[in-house]
Amino acid sequence: MKPIHVGLLGLGTVGGGALTVLRRNRAEIARRAGREIVVKHAVVRSLEKAQKHAGDGLTITNDPLDVVDNPDIDIVVELIGGLDPAKELVLAAIENGKHVVTANKALVALHGNEIFAAAQKRGVMVAFEAAVAGGIPIIKALREGLTANRIEWIAGIINGTSNFILTEMRDKGAGFDAVLGEAQRLGYAEADPTFDVEGIDAAHKLTIMSAIGFGIPMQFDKAYTEGIGALTREDIRYAEELGYRIKLLGITRRTANGIELRVHPTLIPARRLIANVDGVMNAILVKGDAVGATLYYGAGAGAEPTASAVVADLVDVTRMHTADPGNRVPHLAFQPDALSSEPILPMSEVRTAYYLRLKAFDKPGVLADVTRILADLDISIDAMIQKEPQAAEEQVDVIMLTHVTLEKHIDAAIRRIEALSSVSGAVTRIRLEELNSH
């Protein structure tokens, strides 16, 4: 049978990894796919750097249209990242009747609706397993493996850089800035780490998983994002004392009023498996009504882990290459005309529990004032610690864990607590999730 011809847009870390895996496992992949998958053309910025990949009938050029417009290419793999010119190239490839595989989470999260509509109209496939959690096959699990389930919630550690920083802060007692510098030195963090530490990268991935899990359009603009830059080693230590770990979590949950879509630092019980995922590793919990809670763990980045997902997509597209478009797995798991219009909840309407830390003057009546404010807003306290004052300090740290309540009630409580003359400075608030399997 005629081989499937692939064109790579980008031959960097992931592109080079995909080419290596395809060449190394060529026979095994052909046995799985039913025909050979051969990379015929690659587009790169630097022809000189790409020469190490030459040979095996591979043409290397620096004009992406050489691949997109090449009639001999069946599948275009977009690995250049960013939005421009990636979006235009993907849409051009689709218009030319080519299937597309991409690892570009920002592109899928922000423009997936438009891209999938174009692919549906043209009768081609767009596969994007590598866009979320590197080598972990979470997209396939959501689209296919859990298709019998009504997904209830998804919670994931889906940014390795942030997870590495939080792990180091906990293990070494170091501050955020020091650990970020170490992450940059080791190559885990970019020179500009904003997308990672501010939760934007995780929100791209969460948007994709939420759309597939609940059958809704991509709505990245409605995702709530809060990063880890304000976390202190004191809060990480206090969380440990209370039996919790702090992780940057992406959480999306189906509720009676709409869909939660949020990324933020979160306290998780230390006994949960996901709380013990450390370093640059990723993990995603998915709760389905029939299967219960399932956990997916592995490398969320890197050349060959991400290439594993890219090649898996190439095999899937190859298998379904000649299938009637109506019999293929829909891009967002649900049929395109059956997507839900359930709203994304504003953060003020989200219900969760909270960790609160405040500095209060060590004198009678202070805690009574604070607990009265919480009671007035129907916020009940689950646990509380008052630390001993340090030498020459008039204020003490008071840490409280609340039961589940509305975010807008906590917002109101914090404003009133901060206005107390007996409280010094701002109240620290970190959300808390039990992540129970029931």
Q: What stretches of 306-417 adopt beta strand conformation (E)? A: 351-361, 381-386, 395-402, 405-406
In whole angstroms, what separates CA 10 from the centre of its chain?
A: 23
User: CA 316, CA 337: separation in Å to the nearest integer?
Assistant: 23
Among residues 65, 81, 84, 160, which one has the least CA distance to residue 128? Answer: 81
How many C-beta atoms surround the C-beta of residue 30 within 10 A? 18
pTM of the predicted model as reported, rounded to 2 decimal places:
0.95
Domain positions in the chain: 4-135+303-335, 138-299, 350-432
Give backbone dihedrals phi and psi of 419, rounded to 5 degrees, phi first.
Answer: -80, -10
- The domain 350-432 having CATH identifier 2.40.128.20: the answer here is no
Q: Which residues are catalytic?
A: 205
At the topology level of CATH, where does 138-299 sit?
A: Dihydrodipicolinate Reductase; domain 2 (3.30.360)
How many C-beta atoms surround the C-beta of residue 68 within 10 A? 24
Q: To the nearest 10°, report the CA torsion of 345, 351, 357, 359.
A: 80
Report which residue type is found at 119. Answer: A
User: CA 340, CA 217: separation in Å to the nearest integer?
Assistant: 8
Cβ contact 20:304 at 8 Å = yes
| Sequential pLDDT tens for the chain (438 residues) | 899 999 999 988 899 999 999 999 999 999 999 999 999 999 988 777 777 777 778 999 999 999 999 999 999 999 999 999 999 999 999 999 999 999 999 999 999 999 999 999 999 999 999 999 989 999 999 999 999 999 999 999 999 999 999 999 999 999 999 999 999 998 888 889 999 999 999 999 999 999 999 999 999 999 999 999 999 999 999 999 999 999 999 999 999 999 999 999 999 999 999 999 999 999 999 999 999 999 999 998 888 999 999 999 999 999 998 788 888 888 988 989 889 999 999 999 999 999 999 999 878 888 899 999 999 999 999 999 888 777 666 788 999 999 999 999 999 999 999 999 999 999 999 999 999 865
Cβ contact 382:342 at 8 Å = no
CATH of 4-135+303-335, one of 3.40.50.720, 2.60.40.1180, 3.30.1180.20, 3.40.50.300: 3.40.50.720
